[in-house]
Protein backbone atom coordinates (compact mmCIF):
# COMPACT_ATOMS: atom_id res chain seq x y z
CA UNK A 1 0.00 0.00 0.00
CA UNK A 2 1.39 3.34 -1.02
CA UNK A 3 0.21 6.88 -0.40
CA UNK A 4 -0.01 9.85 -2.75
CA UNK A 5 -1.17 13.40 -3.05
CA UNK A 6 -3.19 14.75 -5.98
CA UNK A 7 -3.29 18.45 -6.60
CA UNK A 8 -6.03 20.23 -8.42
CA UNK A 9 -7.21 23.76 -8.86
CA UNK A 10 -10.81 23.86 -7.67
CA UNK A 11 -11.67 26.01 -10.70
CA UNK A 12 -10.78 23.21 -13.09
CA UNK A 13 -11.56 20.13 -10.98
CA UNK A 14 -12.81 20.46 -7.42
CA UNK A 15 -13.30 17.97 -4.63
CA UNK A 16 -17.04 18.53 -4.95
CA UNK A 17 -16.94 17.37 -8.57
CA UNK A 18 -14.74 14.44 -7.65
CA UNK A 19 -17.24 13.36 -5.00
CA UNK A 20 -20.07 13.72 -7.50
CA UNK A 21 -18.40 11.00 -9.56
CA UNK A 22 -18.92 8.58 -6.69
CA UNK A 23 -17.68 5.00 -6.87
CA UNK A 24 -17.18 5.17 -10.62
CA UNK A 25 -14.28 7.53 -10.14
CA UNK A 26 -12.61 9.73 -12.67
CA UNK A 27 -9.46 9.55 -14.74
CA UNK A 28 -6.83 11.94 -13.44
CA UNK A 29 -6.11 13.38 -16.85
CA UNK A 30 -4.23 16.39 -18.04
CA UNK A 31 -0.91 15.59 -16.39
CA UNK A 32 1.93 16.62 -18.70
CA UNK A 33 4.85 16.21 -16.37
CA UNK A 34 7.13 13.19 -16.40
CA UNK A 35 7.63 12.96 -12.65
CA UNK A 36 3.91 13.13 -12.01
CA UNK A 37 3.29 10.60 -14.74
CA UNK A 38 5.89 8.22 -13.35
CA UNK A 39 4.27 8.45 -9.96
CA UNK A 40 0.95 7.43 -11.49
CA UNK A 41 2.66 4.56 -13.24
CA UNK A 42 3.80 3.27 -9.85
CA UNK A 43 0.31 3.28 -8.35
CA UNK A 44 -1.63 0.16 -7.50
CA UNK A 45 -5.33 -0.49 -7.07
CA UNK A 46 -6.35 0.47 -3.55
CA UNK A 47 -3.54 2.97 -2.98
CA UNK A 48 -4.80 5.99 -1.09
CA UNK A 49 -4.21 9.64 -1.76
CA UNK A 50 -4.91 13.10 -0.45
CA UNK A 51 -6.95 15.46 -2.60
CA UNK A 52 -5.39 18.90 -2.36
CA UNK A 53 -6.83 22.19 -3.59
CA UNK A 54 -4.15 24.43 -5.09
CA UNK A 55 -4.39 28.14 -5.84
CA UNK A 56 -7.63 28.39 -3.90
CA UNK A 57 -8.13 26.78 -0.56
CA UNK A 58 -4.57 25.47 -0.32
CA UNK A 59 -5.72 22.57 1.77
CA UNK A 60 -6.14 18.82 1.89
CA UNK A 61 -9.89 18.34 1.67
CA UNK A 62 -10.42 14.69 0.88
CA UNK A 63 -9.18 11.13 0.65
CA UNK A 64 -9.20 9.27 -2.65
CA UNK A 65 -8.47 5.71 -3.71
CA UNK A 66 -6.84 4.48 -6.92
CA UNK A 67 -9.46 2.42 -8.77
CA UNK A 68 -7.77 1.88 -12.15
CA UNK A 69 -4.13 1.41 -13.05
CA UNK A 70 -2.34 3.85 -15.30
CA UNK A 71 -3.77 3.85 -18.81
CA UNK A 72 -3.64 6.17 -21.78
CA UNK A 73 -4.84 9.70 -21.07
CA UNK A 74 -7.76 10.09 -23.45
CA UNK A 75 -7.43 13.87 -23.49
CA UNK A 76 -4.38 13.61 -25.75
CA UNK A 77 -3.26 11.55 -28.74
CA UNK A 78 0.30 11.56 -27.44
CA UNK A 79 1.02 8.00 -26.22
CA UNK A 80 3.51 9.27 -23.65
CA UNK A 81 0.83 10.44 -21.27
CA UNK A 82 -1.03 8.11 -18.98
CA UNK A 83 -3.28 8.52 -15.98
CA UNK A 84 -4.95 6.48 -13.26
CA UNK A 85 -8.57 6.63 -12.16
CA UNK A 86 -9.34 7.74 -8.63
CA UNK A 87 -12.52 7.82 -6.61
CA UNK A 88 -13.51 9.80 -3.55
CA UNK A 89 -13.38 7.86 -0.30
CA UNK A 90 -14.24 10.44 2.31
CA UNK A 91 -14.03 14.07 3.35
CA UNK A 92 -11.31 15.34 5.61
CA UNK A 93 -13.41 16.68 8.50
CA UNK A 94 -10.91 19.40 9.34
CA UNK A 95 -9.15 20.36 6.08
CA UNK A 96 -5.40 20.55 6.59
CA UNK A 97 -3.97 23.73 5.14
CA UNK A 98 -0.56 24.26 3.59
CA UNK A 99 0.25 26.52 6.53
CA UNK A 100 -0.61 23.75 8.97
CA UNK A 101 1.68 21.40 7.08
CA UNK A 102 4.53 23.90 6.92
CA UNK A 103 4.16 24.56 10.63
CA UNK A 104 4.52 20.88 11.53
CA UNK A 105 8.18 19.83 11.84
CA UNK A 106 7.23 16.20 11.20
CA UNK A 107 6.10 17.22 7.73
CA UNK A 108 9.17 19.25 6.79
CA UNK A 109 10.17 16.71 4.14
CA UNK A 110 6.81 16.53 2.40
CA UNK A 111 7.07 17.03 -1.33
CA UNK A 112 4.23 19.52 -1.07
CA UNK A 113 6.52 21.78 0.94
CA UNK A 114 9.69 21.24 -1.05
CA UNK A 115 8.50 20.88 -4.61
CA UNK A 116 5.29 22.79 -4.78
CA UNK A 117 5.03 22.42 -8.53
CA UNK A 118 4.72 18.66 -8.69
CA UNK A 119 1.05 17.85 -9.14
CA UNK A 120 1.09 14.14 -8.31
CA UNK A 121 3.43 13.29 -5.49
CA UNK A 122 4.32 10.45 -3.12
CA UNK A 123 3.49 10.68 0.58
CA UNK A 124 5.28 8.57 3.17
CA UNK A 125 3.35 6.39 5.62
CA UNK A 126 4.45 8.61 8.50
CA UNK A 127 3.31 11.74 6.66
CA UNK A 128 0.02 10.06 5.82
CA UNK A 129 -0.67 9.27 9.45
CA UNK A 130 0.28 12.73 10.59
CA UNK A 131 -1.88 14.59 8.07
CA UNK A 132 -4.80 12.25 8.76
CA UNK A 133 -4.68 12.92 12.46
CA UNK A 134 -4.39 16.67 11.86
CA UNK A 135 -7.44 16.38 9.67
CA UNK A 136 -9.49 14.62 12.31
CA UNK A 137 -9.25 11.18 10.73
CA UNK A 138 -8.25 7.97 12.42
CA UNK A 139 -5.74 6.76 9.81
CA UNK A 140 -6.95 3.69 7.96
CA UNK A 141 -10.32 4.68 6.54
User: Does the footprint of DNA cover residue 62 (CB under 7 A)?
Assistant: no
| 45 or 55: CB nearest DNA | 55
**DSSP-derived secondary structure for 51-101:** EEETTTT-EEEEEEEEEEEEEE-TT-S-TT-EEEEEEEEEEEEEEEEHHHH
Taking alpha carbons only, the member of 31, 112, 136 closest to residue 127 is 112
Please give the residues from 69 up to 128 whose contact with DNA meets the rule CB under 7 A.
98-99, 102, 112, 114-119
Q: CB–CB of 40/31 below 8 Å?
A: yes
Q: CB of residue 106 vs DNA: minimum separation in angstroms?
A: 18
Please give the residues from 9 up to 38 whose contact with DNA meets the rule CB under 7 A.
9, 32-35
- Which spans of this chain sit near DNA (rule: CB under 7 A)? 7, 9, 32-35, 54-55, 58, 98-99, 102, 112, 114-119
Amino acid sequence: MKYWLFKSEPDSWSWERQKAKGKAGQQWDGVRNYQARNNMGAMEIGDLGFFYHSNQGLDVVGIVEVCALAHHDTTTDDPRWVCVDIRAVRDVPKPVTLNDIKANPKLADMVLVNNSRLSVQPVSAAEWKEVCSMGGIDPAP
